[in-house]
Amino acid sequence: MKLSNIKDSIKNFWKEFRQVKSGIIGLILFLIFLFAVVFEPLIISFKETNNVWRDITYWEDLPRNVPPAWTNLFTSRKSAESMEIDDPEITEQQNGNLRILTSEFTYDYQSYNPPQDIIFRADGTGSPMIIIEIVRPDDEKITLFQKPVNLGSGNDVRVSMDSNSKDAVYNFLSKKVPRSELQKINKNLLAPTDYLFSVASEDFIKNREPLNGIYKIKVTSIMQNEDANISDPYIVLPGSVYGLLGTDSYKRDLWSGVVAGVKWALLIGLLTAVVSVSIGVLYGVISAYLGGWKDSLMMRIFEVFVSTPLLPVLIVLAAVFKPSIWTLIFMMCAFFWTGSVKTVRSMALQIKEETFIEASKAAGASNLRIIFKHMVPLLIPYSFASMALFIPGAIVYEASISLLGLGDATIVTWGQILSDAYNSGAILSGIWWWVVPPGLCIALMGMAFAFIGFAADKILHPKLRTR
């Protein structure tokens, strides 16, 4: 009986809800966000995003500050996409004690902007000698790296040309351009790939022209001892565009960050809204129901909370306590509940005067019974509507706390992404892909709930509909 009632009422509600267009939009947005939460592992490229957002080494093979890959569609000067080359031609040579392992990688460079780096990666043990050479389409051969690496009993080999071949490239340059030109560049700030993938000319430094064609990257490992070994070699070329939303200046994939932030936004929004509205409704109802000096006292306490500016308090508290998402939610609840109190109280004052309240009082009902069985249920429609309107507020608040750098450092939220962008001067340097997506998501989630809330409000307060 009861269940079918609920079914019926949901059906009726849906029937009415369908007619409110904005509600449908809100619902669709909400479902998209929900989808993102449920299928998060499937749609993001870095599964551990949540735990490693602040672990710089996790992101080191990604390009830095590059726009989304789809920006290539809008320009004729294509940027190199990030890629991995893991199918080298491997040749092995035994030379007495020495074992020489040569892996030759082929890279077909066809874009205008070169990749940001060339990173050699492999598993290895012992202390092999590693030599990395590049052969360009114009048959120039440059030795980029030549050093023994100490890997001990087993470790990753990671050799980044960006940091290790500045000297080699500088030497290459010095052969090509006049000394006067060469003085214009700082050896330490030089980006090797800029020149490795450009036509070698006297004009090298001023006007770089991309040198398209097949590049061969040859990695030779010379192992002296039995225990030295190199296996599974591959090369990473962090492009100059990346993924769906690009990367930030910590080389993090923003798409993964934004998607991983959805669940936190939902958690912060829903939990804060549900808890604070519940507290607010109860407080308002109880205050109205008790009346007299108790009501006055409760209202004064309420006013203290209302007139306390939340942000400074949060800043202080975040400084005192270790800022975690839970304390943040707790603090927001502790102040947000005031939002619904006034309205609820005035509604409850009206309900309190209804005869059926008097009737159940006359029947001997306890105060608790009257509050929870008679008054609160009548306020539920209002509660739901105001919850929906609280959610965007909570999300934005968390964002502004994070923007001040006081967010929870163990998770990734949209607010924190924005905060990092702000601190790195992303807006000034025009890194829009770092700022717009999380900002837009906050706006959209706020909108989703606001739309649902408005629609629910419209349905539940039919009298307001004409206005």
Partner 1 sequence: MQNDKKRDVIFKIENLQKWFPVKRTMSEVFSGEKRFVKAVDGVSFDIMRGEIFGLVGESGCGKTTTGKLIMKLLDPTGGKIIFNGKDSTHLDKNDLKDYRERVQMIFQDPYASMNPRFRIKDVLEEVLIIHKKGNDKKERLEMVEKALSEVRLQPPHEYMERFPHMLSGGQRQRAATARSLILNPLMIVADEPVSMIDLSTRAEILHMMKTVQRELGLTYLYITHDLSTARYFTDKIAVMYLGKIVEMGTPDEVIDNPLHPYTQALISAVCEPIAGKVNRIKEVPIKGEVPNATDIPEGCRFHTRCPYTGEVCEKGEDPLIQDDGGEHFVACFKYKNLK
Instruction: Give min distance, CB of 362 to partner 1, in A.
Output: 5
- Residue 189 or residue 368: which is nearer to partner 1 going by CB? 368
Q: How far apart are CA 206 and CA 237, in angstroms?
A: 24
Query: Taking a C-beta distance cutoff of 8 angstroms, is the pair 233, 121 a contact?
Result: yes
- Residue 18 or residue 461: which is nearer to partner 1 going by CB? 461
Sole window of 103-111, 204-212, 256-264, 365-373 interacting with partner 1 (rule: CB under 8 A): 365-373
Token pair recorded at residue 439: 């900002």
Query: Whose CA is closest to 238, among 251, 224, 248?
Result: 251
Q: How far apart are CA 193 and CA 171, in angstroms?
A: 14
Give the alpha-carbon dihedral of 31, 37, 38, 44, to 10 degrees.
120
Binding mask 318-357 for partner 1 (x = CB under 8 A): ------------------------------------xxx-
For residue 122, what are the β-bridge partners?
157
For residue 98, what are the β-bridge partners?
95
Instruction: Give min distance, CB of 15 to partner 1, in A.
Output: 19
- For 137, phi then psi, to 5°, come to -60, -25
Instruction: Give min distance, CB of 261 to partner 1, in A.
Output: 40
**Residue 102 found at the interface with partner 1 (CB under 8 A):** no
**Residue 362 found at the interface with partner 1 (CB under 8 A):** yes
Q: How far apart are CA 445 and CA 438, in angstroms?
A: 10
Task: Name residue, tokens 């909370």.
Answer: 305
**Residue 365 found at the interface with partner 1 (CB under 8 A):** yes
Q: Which of residues 377-436 bind partner 1 (CB under 8 A)?
A: 377-378
Q: Return the axis-axis angle of helices 432-460 and 254-290, rounded to nearest 10°.
A: 30
State the DSSP H helix or E strand holding residue 423, giving kind and residue range, or none if neither: helix 414-423
- Residue 281 or residue 329: which is nearer to partner 1 going by CB? 281
- Residue 153 or residue 355: which is nearer to partner 1 going by CB? 355
Round to the nearest angstrom and report the end-to-end CA distance of the chain: 37
- Residue 319 or residue 363: which is nearer to partner 1 going by CB? 363
User: What sign results for the dihedral spanned by CA atoms 456, 346, 309, 319?
Assistant: negative
- Residue 99 or residue 374: which is nearer to partner 1 going by CB? 374
Sole window of 73-81, 149-157, 325-333, 371-379 interacting with partner 1 (rule: CB under 8 A): 371-379
Find the radius of gyration of the CA atoms of the chain. 31
**Residue 373 found at the interface with partner 1 (CB under 8 A):** yes
- Residue 87 or residue 354: which is nearer to partner 1 going by CB? 354
Instruction: Give min distance, CB of 315 to partner 1, in A.
Output: 44
Amino acid identity for residue 280 in this structure:
G
Among residues 187, 209, 358, 440, the one that binds partner 1 under rule CB under 8 A: 358
Among residues 361, 405, 422, 460, the one that binds partner 1 under rule CB under 8 A: 361
Which residues of the shown chain bind partner 1 in the complex (CB under 8 A)? 354-356, 358-366, 369, 373-374, 377-378
